[in-house]
């Protein structure tokens, strides 16, 4: 799994884009490796499964959607720091990932993507035809 951002200082300045009518947030992600898979953990506070889109197109895994406002009934808002916003994050997957077995689970605002490593192709014998 690769990503075009390599400089953390540069990345820090690009966490919010203003290219739409509202902000577009780039969710924070941690990526771990096990013997069998890569695990990507993304923070998506205020996001529910029905507001989340995870797609794969030509080995580009994209996560997107919109956060929701959760104002409690019967209260008057005094200060607001939480913003409703669109969010997007994309990763280019290497050939080492088995894209047919990717799994996604959302719990308590944390998206966990399991990206299984591709199994090595089994060795095979090639039949040689004689006299042709």
Domain holding 87, by residue range, is: 15-69+81-116
Where do we find the tokens 């035809």? Answer: 129
Give tens-digit pLDDT for 6-46. 444 444 455 554 455 677 889 999 999 999 999 999 999 88
Residue 26 placed within a domain: yes
Give tens-digit pLDDT for 75-112. 888 887 777 788 999 999 999 999 999 999 999 999 99
Residue 65 placed within a domain: yes
The number of domains in the chain is 1
Q: Give the CA distances from residue 92 to residues 32, 76, 120, 123, in Å, rounded to whole numbers and listed in that order.
A: 16, 44, 20, 28
28 in Cβ contact with 110 (< 8 Å): no
Residue 4 placed within a domain: no
63 in Cβ contact with 53 (< 8 Å): yes
Residue 123 placed within a domain: no
Residue 29 placed within a domain: yes
In this structure, the number of other CB atoms found within 10 A of the CB of residue 111 comes to 22
Domain of residue 25, CATH code = 2.60.40.790
Residue 99 placed within a domain: yes
């Amino acid at each position: 799994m690769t990503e075009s951002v390599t400089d953390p200082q540069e990345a820090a300045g690009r966490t919010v884009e203003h290219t739409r009518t509202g902000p577009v947030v780039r969710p924070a992600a941690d990526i771990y490796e096990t013997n069998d898979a890569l695990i990507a953990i993304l923070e998506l506070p205020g996001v529910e499964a029905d507001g989340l889109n995870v797609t794969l197109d030509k080995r580009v895994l994209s996560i997107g959607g919109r956060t929701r406002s959760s104002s409690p009934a019967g209260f008057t808002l005094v200060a607001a720091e939480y913003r409703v916003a669109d969010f997007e994050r994309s990763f280019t997957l290497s050939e080492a990932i088995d894209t047919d077995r990717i799994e996604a689970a959302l719990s308590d605002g944390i998206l966990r993507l399991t990206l299984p490593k591709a199994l090595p192709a089994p060795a095979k014998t090639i039949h040689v035809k004689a006299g042709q």
